[in-house]
Each structure stands twice: as structure tokens, then as C-alpha cells.
Structure 1
Amino acid sequence: MMISHWEPFRRWTWRLLKIVMLLGLGIVLFYWFRFSPIAVIEHKVVAGPILSEVMGTGTLEARVSTTISPKISGRIEEVLFDQGDEVQTGDLLVRLDDAELMQQVAIAKANLDASQSAITRLEADKSRANAVVIQARKLNQRRQELLPSRAVSQEEVDAAVESLGVAEAGLSRAEAAITEGQKELVAAEKTLEYHRARLADTRITAPFDGLIVRRYRESGDVVVPGSAILSLISKNELWISAWVDETEMESIKPDQPARVVFRSAPNSFYVGSVARLGREADRETREFIVDVRVLELPSNWAVGQRAEVFIESARKESAILLPPRFIELRDMQPGVFLNDNGYARWQPVELGLRSPALVEVTKGLAVDQTIVIPQDGTFRLRDGRRINLP
């Protein structure tokens, strides 16, 4: 009976002991996670220069470019330049087959010569008709003077008047023939001019100094007006047409310095400057075009290759600087944790310029103060938490 009397007591005592042990373990763990020192990385606040940049991505383009194409249909006789060749204004780039057009020019020249000869003959006819009119007028005048004295008959006077009329009609006909011949001469001159222009169009020359960047056709190809034969660019001004977020629009102005990083040479940058700003934003991506003039190029480059531009939007020679990873945002307020004799102390700050590696602190910190972040990125510091350095 005694064993059965103490049995319930022992069971409850054991249960109570387990509960106490669990509570103790929980307290230990709670203390460990909440109050034990956290290993941190510290950083001493320094002052130095900072450069804020706006980034955009785009392609290398030429401000002035053109597609070399014929004005007339024909067969290519010869393409004298290849891609990569530099040309000067007026250089012969392409020759088309001109045999048929030369024949047409020769025929037009012969027609012009015939029209000029016809004008010469018609002017001689006019001179003869004019002489006949003069003779008929003299004869008519003489017979009119002799009629009162009855030296000539009325029939002779009438014959003289009729002869004068016939002569004057002949003169008018000769003048009309000359007018018609002159119109035919003008038409022949225009026809010759047209065929000579078409013949000249078989020789395609460079409209400006530049570089051939692409060749589309070969000798023997048949082309029509507008067919691309060569692509020519001017090297006077090359730029990166970069897409930049519209939120940066206010910070970008023409002539701002910039640097260009080509994807073919990611470890090098090239000097540039803002040439012009686009005035239309993409309605889907909310970006706008900024043309950044490239002042120097890598040894190997190609129109259309991709590059990143970094446009200088602001610069300070002396500012309090921090790496971005030491800044934490709490309730929309940026701040840092200071090392206050082994305890983390929350310090709100105000931020200024940003660069890829640094952020300016305009208020809340001083040079030589020490800030910390947890060594283990999964932990978060609290104000007043004990910290230690590994």
C-alpha cells in the first residue's frame, strides 16, 4: 500500500522536473540568441572624393551614315572598295555596266546634231523667203505708183499684190518651221542631257569621307534603284545610343563627361561626353535615348556593338563615405550601427551621392567613427546588442 501511495507523487515530480529542465533550456537558448555577443565586421568612417554616375546600355552608332545604292537598274561591273576600307569624298565606289547607255547617248547626240542642222537649213529658207517678200513689196509699190499714169494695167497691179501675199505667207511658214525646229532642238538637248545623266549614274561615288562598314553585293549582281551595295559611315562623330531610365532625366545635360565600357573590353573604359538627349521616352520600358560621344575607340570596334555608358551626374572632392552594405533601412529610415564599447548602437543617417562602391553620408556620422555589420549575413543587429570582433 505504501508503494502505490508514493507512485503518483513520483510521476508528477518527474514531469515537473522535465518541465523545469525545458524551461531552463529555453531560457538559456533565449539568452544566447538575444543577449550573447554577435561576431561583427567593423569599418572606420573616412572622407574622400565621390563620383555619382548614371548608367545606360546601348550600341555604337555613327551620327552620319548612308547606304550606297544605284539610281538606275543595271549589272554591277565592279565594286572597288570592301568593308573596312576608308574612302574620300568623290572616290569611285561602284561601276555599273554602261555599254547600252553609251549607245543611247550616241543616238541622242546624233539626234541633236540633226536638229541643229535642220535649224540651219530652216534659217536659210527663212532668209530666202524674206528676200522674196522684199522683192514682192518693191514690185507691188512700183506698180501702185505707175497705175495712175496708166503705165501698168490693173491686172498687173493685182498680180503684184497676190505675189506679195504669197511671199509673206512663205515667210510666215519659214518662221513657223524655225520655231518648231527650235522646240525639236530643245527636246534633243534634253534627251541627250537625260541619257548623259543616266550614263553618269553608272559611276557611284562616295558622298563624304568615311569608312565602308559592310559590303552587300559583288560584281555581276543585278541591282535596281534602292538596292544596298555598300554601307558607309562618317568617322567624324561616333556615339553610343544608350537607353537610360527616365528617372535620371533631370541629372543629365549635354557635354557632361562620361566613360564608355565596351563589352569586348570590359576591363577598359574610354572617354566620352553627352552629345544630345532624346525627347521621347519608351512607353513600355520608361527609358529614353542619350547619345554619348566616344572620344576614343578600342583598336577593334564595330558599328552596332554593345557598350555601357557611365555619365557623371555629380562629384564631390571631400565627403563622408560608406560602403553600401553597411547601411540598413528601418521604417524607411536609413541608418548604421555604431560600435559603442562593445555594443551596437543604431544611428539614423541622411544619404547623398551614390556610386557603385560608395555612398555619401550627409548627416549623422563623423570621420573616424566605427560602424559594424554582422559577420553572418543571416543575423540582424539590434540597438544595444553585444558585439565582438572575430
Structure 2
Amino acid sequence: MNNRLYWLLGILTVAAVGTAVYGLVSSPTEVETIRVQQREVVEVYVATGRIEAPRTSDLGVEIAGTVQRVAVEEGAEVKQGDRLVVLRPRNAKLVVEKAKARVETRRNELREVKRGPTDADLRAAESEVEQFAAQLTQAERELKRTKALFEEGGVTEQALEQARTATKEARARFKNAEARLDRLRERPLPEELRAARARLKQASVDLERARNDLAETIIRAPFDGLVLAIETKEGERVTPNETVARMADMTSAEIYAEVDEDYFGRLAPGQPATLIFPSMPEKTFTATVHRVGPEIATDRGVVGVHLAPDSLPKNTFPGLTVDANIEVARLDQALAAPIDAVVRDPMGTYVLTVEDGTTVRQAVDVRARGEPWTALEGIEAGTQVVRHAARLDIGQAVALAGGEGS
């Protein structure tokens, strides 16, 4: 009797457990729903980029020399005209002083030419003409007397020839003296002025070149910017065209990033962006898309995008990594659902609604994928859609948690 009672109790227990398990397995899954509603949706593309400085300069020397002083350190911010590297200027200074002296000499020469002859110069020239005229008269008389004696046989032919030579030389001296006097009276002659001016101009050019060489002993910043590198040190010998420093103009700095090629048609100049530096995630900086492309890497399916920052943190430099959140779409009023309510599979994009206690697939088109809301087309406002839809199957039995969704 007791054994039969225990047997009946066992059967009842198994039946109760089985009923409980069946109830658990077949009970609907609780789901949360939410209404499709009008709201602002902003879609952002997150890209990792780096700072680039399109305007950089490799600074060298035009003359050979020895480095006397390195005036700045790498990473220094400098102003246009600031000294970077200084060479020993001794030889260049000597060349400048000599060139100055030549210019002064040529200037005095031109001044003398312009002034013309003094009264004393003219009197001296006139006196020289008179002196050589008297010598010529004397030589001609002597030649005449010698000819008469030669005809009478009183002198030799050699004596006659000597008298002729003396007369010829006296005549040449007289004519040269007359020509000098004429030139003095006509000065300044145009050709003399041109020659004197040409000599002064060449001396001035030489002085300017010497001064430029002296200036080249000081390598200065060509613009406001950042010193990227110093390629020399004090006491080192440098040669022309050798790079001694490199600079970047950070006012022209931009952000270069790569984005998925699928987004190429959705990126355009003027789109706003937010910059976040990994070393200071609590701070953000604004930027604008400046140019899309032309850089493209077909093997990786990415295209380059250039962003112009409104400002950058202090002490930034080319190559620094930055995250760029580019706003590719902004819809002020759009039908939207939470991003976790939208699912994509090989057949397209859809949301789940609930009909008669089961999930139903409803195809939709995405206008903009925001965070946390996604703008949709192909659905009516107020439609209840299931949250966390990717966890559910189509046609799955569900029950609404807490009644209707908000």
C-alpha cells in the first residue's frame, strides 16, 4: 500500500516538473518597444588622422662657414626674422669693408670727372702747350740750318737725319699737349662720365653682394612657425646648400585622415568636424572639411580627406595623431528610431514590429545613422518598433515589457 502511494506521488511530481518546464520554454520573450518619432539626427564619421603642415622649409646656407652659435632648440616657436643659426662672420666682414672702400674710391673718381678741370689744370696744360711749341720752333730752325749746311757739304747725312727726327718728336709732343688742353676744355666728356658711373655701379654691386654674404652668416626664420629640427651644432663646418634647420608654418596646419571609399559621395568641403586628441580626450577642437581627395588607396578602399582646424592645442607638431568626428549629415526633423532597433542583413535594412504577439519584419531605408538615433524612411510616425532587435528572430513570440513602449 505504501509503495503504491509513493509511486503515485512520483508520477505526479514528474508531471508537475514537466508542466513547469514546458511553460518556461514556450513562454514569450519580453521585449521593449519604442515609437518612431520626429527628432534631430546627426550622423558622424569617425576617422583617425594626423597633423600635417603643407608649408615647410629646409633652411641652408649660401656661403661656407663654421657654426658659431645655435640660437634655438628643436620644438621652439619662433617669429619671422628670429635667428636660428649664426656662422662666424670674420671673413665676410673684411670683404664688406674692402668693398666699401672701393665704392668710396669710385664715387670720388666720378665726382672729379663731373667737376671738370680746375683753373690750375688749364694753366698747366696751356703752359705745356707753349713749352712744346717753343721746342718745336727751335727744332724746325735747327732742321733748316742743318739742311743748308748739308747742301754745302758742311754736315753729314746722319746729322741731317738726326735733325729731322728731333723735329718730328717735338711736333708730336706739341700736338699731344694741344689735344690734352682741348680735352680739358671740353670736360666732362660723355664717355668719361659713362665709364666713371659704370665703375661706381660695379663697386656698389660688389658691396651689396658682400653685405648679402655677411647677412647669410645669420640663418633666420622665414616665417612664424615651429622649429622641427636643427641639423648642425656649434663648431661644425657647413657648406652651401646644406640644410641646417627645418621649419613648419603651423598656421597652415591641417588634419589629413582616410575614410572608407563608400563615404566619398557623402563628404564635401564645408562639413563641420570635431577633433579629439588621445592625450587630452576631455578637450575638443572644431574643424571644417577643406578638401576631399585626390589621395586614394584602391588596395585598401580608402580616400583622403583634408580638414582645416579652427584652432589647435599649444605645442602641436606635424605627425601628431588626432581623431576626427566628421558630420556627414544633419537632419533637424526626421522620423527616427534608436540605433539598436535597426537591423541590416543580406536582404536589406529592417525593424521589428509586434503583431498578435510575434515579431514582424518591416523593411526601411536609412537616411542617416546617428548616435543614438537613426533617421528612417518607409515607416510611419508612431509605429512601435522593438528595441535590441538583432537579438530576436522574425516570427518569434514576444510579450511587451511593462505594457506599451514609450
Given candidates 371, 376, 381, the residue that maps to 2:393 is 381
Distance 1:74 1:317, change over 3 A: same
Whether contact under 8 Å (1:339, 1:372) holds in the other structure is: no
Q: Counterpart of 2:72?
A: 81
Distance 1:216 1:243, change over 3 A: same
> Displacement, 1:369?
0.6
Given candidates 360, 373, 388, the residue that maps to 1:358 is 373
TM-score between the two structures when normalised by the length of structure 1: 0.69
Could you list the runs of 5+ residues in structure 2 that have no partner in the other structure? 1-21, 134-163, 402-406
Distance 1:160 1:44, change over 3 A: same
Distance 1:300 1:134, change over 3 A: same
- Determine the C-alpha separation between the residues in 1 that align with 2:74 and 2:305: 28
Amino acid at match of 1:273: T
Given candidates 323, 336, 342, the residue that maps to 1:327 is 342
CA RMSD across the alignment: 4.4
Amino acid at match of 2:51: L
Whether contact under 8 Å (2:35, 2:383) holds in the other structure is: yes
Given candidates 161, 175, 179, the residue that maps to 1:168 is 179
Amino acid at match of 1:387: V
After superposition, residues 1-390 of structure 1 pair within 5 angstroms as 36=26, 39=29, 41-47=31-37, 48-116=39-107, 132=125, 163-164=174-175, 167-168=178-179, 183-266=198-281, 268-298=283-313, 301-329=316-344, 332-355=347-370, 357-367=372-382, 369-371=384-386, 373=388, 377=391, 381-383=393-395, 385-388=396-399
Distance 1:374 1:57, change over 3 A: closer
Distance 1:115 1:331, change over 3 A: closer
Amino acid at match of 2:81: G
After superposition, what is the alpha-carbon deviation per residue over 1:307-327, rounded to whole angstroms, capped at 9, x for unaligned? Answer: 121222221233333344433
Amino acid at match of 2:397: R
Does 259-268 or 124-133 show the bigger shift? 124-133
After superposition, what is the alpha-carbon deviation per residue over 1:74-112, rounded to whole angstroms, capped at 9, x for unaligned? Answer: 222112222343333333332211111112222333444
Bigger-Rg structure (1/2)? 2
Whether contact under 8 Å (2:84, 2:220) holds in the other structure is: yes
Distance 1:77 1:282, change over 3 A: same
Amino acid at match of 2:34: K
Question: Could you tell me the percent identity over the aligned residues?
Answer: 23
TM-score between the two structures when normalised by the length of structure 2: 0.67
Whether contact under 8 Å (2:31, 2:398) holds in the other structure is: no
> Displacement, 1:276?
3.6
Report how many residues are paired.
Answer: 339
